[in-house]
Amino acid sequence: MNYEKQAQDYYSKAPLIILGSGASCAHGMSGMEALAEYLVKKIDISDISAKDKITWSEFCRVLESGTDLETALHQVATSEELTSCIIRKTWELINAEDLGIFHEYLQNNQRFSLGKIISHMFKSSISNINIITTNYDRLAEYACEREKIHHYTGFTHGFFRQLSQPKEIKVNRKVNIWKVHGSIDWFKSPLEDIIGLPHLQDIPKGYGPQIVTPGTQKYQRTHLEPYRSIINNADQAITAATSYLCIGYGFNDEHIQPKLMTKCARQGAPITIVTYALSDATKRYVINGGMSNYLAIERGDHDDQSVVYSSLEENPVIVEKNFWNIDGYLTLIT
Amino acid sequence: MSIFNFVDDEALGKVASVDTATVIVDVENINQLKRLQVNHLAVLQSSRPGQHLIGLITQVTRKKSAAEELNDGIVDQYAELNLCRIALIGTLLDRDGNKENVFRRTLESVPEIDANCFSLEGDNLTGFMRTLSSIAADKNSLTLGRYTLDEHAVAYLNGNKFFQRHAFIGGSTGSGKSWTTARIIEQMERLDSANAIIFDLHGEYSPLVGDGIQQLKVAGPADVESARTLDEGIVFLPYWLLSYEALVSMFVDRSDQNAPNQAMIMAREINQAKRKYLEDRNYVDILSHFTVDSPVPFDLKELLARLNSINTEMVAGARGDKQGEFYGKLARMISRLENKISDRRLGFLFSGGEDVLDFSWLNKLSANLVGCTSENNIAGIKIVDFSEVPSDILPLIVSLVARVAFSIQQWTPSELRHPIALLCDEAHLYIPQRSMADSANNISIDIFERIAKEGRKYGLSLVVISQRPSEVNKTILSQCSNFISMRLTNAEDQGVIKKLLPDSLGGFGDILPTLDTGEALMVGDASLLPSRIRVDEPANRPNSGTVDFWDEWQAPVEEHRLTAAIDNWRKQNIQ
């Protein structure tokens, strides 16, 4: 099986990059499980209303029974107040971890793996790279800046960033980062508009963090700006792309899925997936879902072993090399 | 990782227009424009990540457009148009399957308008040349020298491809042709089972020595007299090895009105003589299959006697005996034949002695000529000196050796076949254009054309070496897919090489007359890029025979040189 050629071929089509939580986990950020734990520990029930207390304890019980965070939040209808509390606590956790990674980077000045890919892709005549991410952290932005590449996330640049149109930022090479679930530096101001405030330790008074946590409210919120525009832009980017590279993405997001499925399953666009472990959804949609051009690589029994699933081969192949994380994938294509 | 580390700011400029294989780059960086040189390399970014397009700069222009006076009296600055034309020659892939940094002579993607273009220099150039070089670069790869563009980068050739589909080495006299040939021979010599025959017409390659090199010489008059043999490196090429065609061309004068009869009788009698030889020695299995061209010895004296008797034959007629059908018609042929036999210079054909007529002699000769080191216990590379072969029959004799090699390859079962290369020095002498050929040449051309067309299948390769590419047979040149061209001053000869270059690289041919001694232009499938190479000096320089006129004229002259020359001339022998 020539999965190497397949990977290089898919990559040469300048793939749109989709980052899932796995991409952040690689940097030691909390996943859903850790977030759930954090929420249970940190949410102070003494401050919330009696009704919410009942909801919360029910939520905790569901979680304890082994249900994951997302499902649990779907099962329990949280009030606006409780939701806001969850968002703030989530923000606290992710923001602290994000800043931690930033500070660590300042010390060792290493390159980000994602940045290496982006830099390599820009050694071509491509002037725009699109990254779609479901993560709230700013790792993609850090990666771009480390490589001296301009990025656009829907806002103007600077300290006090306001929503802007993609056309407003004109540079030779640009990475568009579409953060479909918001970002830890997005806030709703007292004037009810959305502002980007980078690198805050705390949430400014009167400001509300703009991140979409799992749960029923996910769908209400994403109908509103800026998510509506961002998701629209992400959709357009997916439609325009001819190849996809999913990093640590588990095919569990309804905001990305529909267009991606149209392109990959119906139109045969090639898709490459590199991840720690392929999720059930990935296996269902990609490997057994009749996609005609896919290459999915997950970690084997140890770091230097990869399991390669390819549309060219019926059965997965085990390779004694690391191809499953970004750095490993890079050795496959460069 | 990719060998190219270009920063957008360093770009020469952007692609302004794209043609099939040429692009025009609008050069923004004036400082770079000045440094640009035609025939240097440039890199274009492609629309595909992980790939770069490689091109050759074919033209650099700077134009100033006339000053334009704007309506309010302000004169616009002189607008400059700095353009650079680049012929695209290939793609560098960061990865191809499991191979890193692979250069391909194809364009996998087309360049886009506004794509950045970079000049390939410094580390990037070294890296690229290394990439070209490192392909199949192990300790035994074929190298000619170093790239002129980057003297640190060794120019490796793909040895398989170089020999597979024949090669041509050309260049005016004194441009370094024999150096290049000597370098190739030296490298072949290092291989355990290398197998090659070098047709050395002037004894130029006699200084080449080595464990893998064997010097042979076609017997001259002196060698015949002193009865030297194969063991001493003296080759006899007996008449019975010549094909029927070759024998006819040698003995029958085409302009003779009896030529057809003579040829017919020749065929019949030679066949008869060969049959007799086989019958006398009881080779029954061969008897039923042999033809007039089969390499079977026969007795020339008997043939002569037979011809004489036919020439004087009287047959019974109605009124007593009358002259036979061919009475007197063979006289001229017989005298021609007798002349040749007694010609001292042709001793290697007719005066081989008894052992040459032995049936097993061909085995011995082929082991020497076509055998590898392990087979003939001497060496696989045979430099055959033809310097004492008279020029009128040179094509016949050279092609005879080629034919022996070809026949042996052809009659070897494919699984036993071992490849052999024929290096044909001064090829224009025995493989000329058809239009310039006489009958002896035609026979030679037939054989070499056959080798050029079919040799590849039988593991027989030609390396044609000539100072006059325009005089070398076109069919053979067209079969060569590798060309090493040294300096060529003659326009016709340049034309031959230029025609071989792809249209987009036509400009490359313009450097042919300006190449330095020892510099070569390498084109073909053995080298990934048409490249200018500085050929390394061989360990043993071939004997080019250049006479230093000015110096010689200042020195005293040897005594008796003229009388010695005349004496030798008469004796047909250099004492």
CB contact (8 A) between residue B48 and residue A124: yes
What is the mean pLDDT of the segment spanning A217-227? 74
Strand segments (E) across B391-502: 420-424, 460-466, 482-485
Name the burial class of residue B108, with classes exposed (0-12), middle (13-18) and buried (19+) by CB atoms within 10 angstroms of its CB.
middle
Instruction: Decide if B20 is inside a domain.
Output: yes
CB contact (8 A) between residue B48 and residue A2: no
Instruction: Please state the domain count of chain B.
Output: 2
Residues from A contacting B (CB-CB < 8 Å) are 2, 4-5, 8, 11-14, 120-126, 172-173, 332-334
CB contact (8 A) between residue B116 and residue A12: no
pLDDT on residue A176: 93
The alpha-carbon gap from B502 to the nearest alpha carbon of chain A, in Å, equals: 26
- All residues of chain B having their beta carbon less than 8 Å from the beta carbon of residue A2 are 97
Candidates B9, B94, B113: best to mutate against A (most CBs of A within 10 A) is: B94
Provide the CB-side half-sphere exposure for B289 (13 A, CA).
5
CB contact (8 A) between residue B50 and residue A4: no
Which residues, 6+ apart, have CB-to-CB distance to A99 below 8 Å?
A: A199, A201
Phi, psi of B560 (to 5 degrees): 55, 25
Q: Residues B127, B244: one domain?
A: no
- All residues of chain A having their beta carbon less than 8 Å from the beta carbon of residue B112 are 125
| A17 sits in which H/E element | strand A16-19
Nearest CA among B184, B214, B218, B185 for reference residue B201? B218
Domain boundary among the residues B136, B163, B192 is at B136
Contact indicator for B178, B533 with CB cutoff of 8 Å: no
| pLDDT, tens digit (0-9, with 9 covering 90-100), for A106-147 | 998 889 999 999 999 998 888 899 999 999 999 999 999 999
| B456 sits in which H/E element | none
| pLDDT, tens digit (0-9, with 9 covering 90-100), for B305-337 | 888 888 887 777 777 777 777 777 778 888 888
pLDDT on residue B78: 60
- All residues of chain B having their beta carbon less than 8 Å from the beta carbon of residue A14 are 47-49
Q: Would you state the structure tokens that stand for residue B122, as one six-digit string?
A: 């410094």
Considering only CB atoms, B47 lies closest to which of A8, A124, A172, namely: A124
CATH code for the domain of B31: 2.40.30
Considering only CB atoms, B97 lies closest to which of A2, A13, A173, namely: A2
CB contact (8 A) between residue B45 and residue A173: no
- What percent of chain A has a predicted confidence (pLDDT) above 70? 98
- Lowest-confidence segment of A72-86, A319-333, B240-254, B493-507 by average pLDDT: B493-507
Q: Residues B19, B132: one domain?
A: yes
CB contact (8 A) between residue B112 and residue A332: no
Nearest CA among B339, B314, B337 for reference residue B325? B314
Q: Residue B528 above 80 pLDDT?
A: no
Q: Residue A319 above 80 pLDDT?
A: yes
| pLDDT, tens digit (0-9, with 9 covering 90-100), for B236-258 | 888 888 888 888 888 888 787 87
Name the burial class of residue A266, with classes exposed (0-12), middle (13-18) and buried (19+) by CB atoms within 10 angstroms of its CB.
exposed
- R_g (Cα) of chain B, nearest Å: 30
What is the mean pLDDT of the segment spanning B274-297? 84
CB contact (8 A) between residue A5 and residue B96: yes
CA-nearest residue of chain A to B8? A123
CA-nearest residue of chain A to B116? A125
| pLDDT, tens digit (0-9, with 9 covering 90-100), for B152-192 | 778 888 888 888 889 999 888 878 888 889 999 888 888 88
Considering only CB atoms, A5 lies closest to which of B97, B111, B116, namely: B97
CB contact (8 A) between residue A333 and residue B47: no
Instruction: Decide if B324 is inside a domain.
Output: yes
pLDDT on residue B294: 84
Phi-psi bin for B190: left (phi > 0), alpha (psi -120 to 50), beta? alpha
pLDDT on residue B251: 82
CB contact (8 A) between residue B47 and residue A121: no
Q: Would you state the structure tokens that stand for residue B267, as one six-digit string?
A: 């065929």
A270 — pLDDT class (breaks 50, 70, 90):
very high
Phi, psi of B312 (to 5 degrees): -115, 15
Instruction: Decide if B167 is inside a domain.
Output: no
CB contact (8 A) between residue A334 and residue B45: no
CA atoms of A330 and A278, how far apart (whole Å): 19
pLDDT on residue A3: 86
Cβ pairs A/B, distance under 8 A: 62
Quote the domain boundaries for residue B305.
239-351
3-state secondary structure B267-324: HHHHHHHHHHHHHHHCCHHHHCCCCCCCCCCCCHHHHHHHHHHHHCCEEEECCEEEEC
Q: How many residues does chain B have?
A: 575
The alpha-carbon gap from A44 to the nearest alpha carbon of chain B, in Å, equals: 50
- What percent of chain A has a predicted confidence (pLDDT) above 90? 34
CA atoms of B258 and B332, how far apart (whole Å): 9
B238, amino acid identity: P
CA-nearest residue of chain B to A116? B1
- What percent of chain B has a predicted confidence (pLDDT) above 70? 94
- All residues of chain B having their beta carbon less than 8 Å from the beta carbon of residue A172 are 8
Annotate A182-219 with b (16+ C-beta within 10 A) or e (fewer).
Answer: bbbbbbbeeeeebbbbeeeeebeeebbbbbbbbbebbe
Instruction: Decide if B375 is inside a domain.
Output: no
CB contact (8 A) between residue B95 and residue A8: yes
pLDDT on residue A273: 92
pLDDT on residue B464: 92
Chain CA centroid to CA B268, Å = 37
- All residues of chain B having their beta carbon less than 8 Å from the beta carbon of residue A334 are 1-2, 50, 94-95, 100
pLDDT on residue B137: 52
pLDDT on residue A101: 92
B72 — pLDDT class (breaks 50, 70, 90):
low
Q: Would you state the structure tokens that stand for residue A197, as one six-digit string?
A: 């405030």
The alpha-carbon gap from A162 to the nearest alpha carbon of chain B, in Å, equals: 29
| pLDDT, tens digit (0-9, with 9 covering 90-100), for B447-489 | 999 999 998 889 999 999 998 888 888 888 888 888 888 888 8
CA atoms of A149 and B426, how far apart (whole Å): 61
Sign of CA pseudo-dihedral B486, B490, B491, B497:
negative
Strand, helix or coil for residue B465? strand
Instruction: Decide if B461 is inside a domain.
Output: no
Instruction: Decide if B99 is inside a domain.
Output: yes
CA-nearest residue of chain A to B53? A124
| pLDDT, tens digit (0-9, with 9 covering 90-100), for A5-19 | 899 989 999 999 999
- Lowest-confidence segment of A79-83, A232-236, A281-285, A294-298 by average pLDDT: A79-83
Peptide bond into A226 cis (omega under 30): yes
Strand, helix or coil for residue B523? strand
CA atoms of A327 and A112, how far apart (whole Å): 9
Strand B420-424 versus strand B196-200 pairing type = parallel
Phi, psi of B361 (to 5 degrees): -65, -35
B278 — pLDDT class (breaks 50, 70, 90):
confident
| B172 sits in which H/E element | none
Give the DSSP letter string of A29-40.
---HHHHHHHHH
Nearest CA among B118, B199, B195 for reference residue B418? B195
Greater model confidence, A191 or B541? A191
B79 — pLDDT class (breaks 50, 70, 90):
low
- All residues of chain A having their beta carbon less than 8 Å from the beta carbon of residue B54 are none
pLDDT on residue B77: 60
Contact indicator for A184, A211 with CB cutoff of 8 Å: yes
CB contact (8 A) between residue A333 and residue B6: no
| pLDDT, tens digit (0-9, with 9 covering 90-100), for B203-231 | 888 888 888 888 888 888 888 778 788 78
Q: What is the mean pLDDT of chain A?
A: 87
pLDDT on residue B324: 74
CA atoms of A154 and A162, how far apart (whole Å): 8
| pLDDT, tens digit (0-9, with 9 covering 90-100), for A150-197 | 999 999 988 999 999 888 888 889 999 999 888 999 999 999 889 999
CB contact (8 A) between residue A124 and residue B96: no
Domain boundary among the residues B316, B351, B386 is at B351
Nearest CA among B230, B214, B166 for reference residue B423? B166
Instruction: Decide if B178 is inside a domain.
Output: no
A48: number of Cβ within 10 Å = 16
| B243 sits in which H/E element | none
- R_g (Cα) of chain A, nearest Å: 20
Q: Residues B248, B132: one domain?
A: no
CB contact (8 A) between residue B2 and residue A4: no
What is the mean pLDDT of the segment spanning A284-308? 88
The four Cα atoms B97, B100, B106, B108 give a dihedral, to 10 degrees, of 60
pLDDT on residue B71: 61
Nearest CA among B91, B88, B83 for reference residue B65? B83
Give the DSSP letter string of B69-81.
B-TTSPBPPPPEE
What is the mean pLDDT of the segment spanning A317-330? 90
CA atoms of A221 and A217, how far apart (whole Å): 6
The alpha-carbon gap from A172 to the nearest alpha carbon of chain B, in Å, equals: 9
Domains of chain A, each with CATH number or no CATH: 3-27+111-333 (3.40.50.1220)
CA-nearest residue of chain B to A11? B49
Provide the CB-side half-sphere exposure for B42 (13 A, CA).
38
Domain boundary among the residues B351, B382, B405 is at B351
Angle at Cα B179 formed by Cα B176 and Cα B182, nearest 5°? 155
Greater model confidence, A90 or B230? A90
Instruction: Decide if B325 is inside a domain.
Output: yes
pLDDT on residue B69: 58
CB contact (8 A) between residue B48 and residue A5: no
CA atoms of B383 and B425, how far apart (whole Å): 11
B105: number of Cβ within 10 Å = 14
- All residues of chain B having their beta carbon less than 8 Å from the beta carbon of residue A120 are 2, 49-50, 94
Residues from B contacting A (CB-CB < 8 Å) are 1-2, 4, 6, 8, 45-52, 93-98, 100, 111-112, 114-116
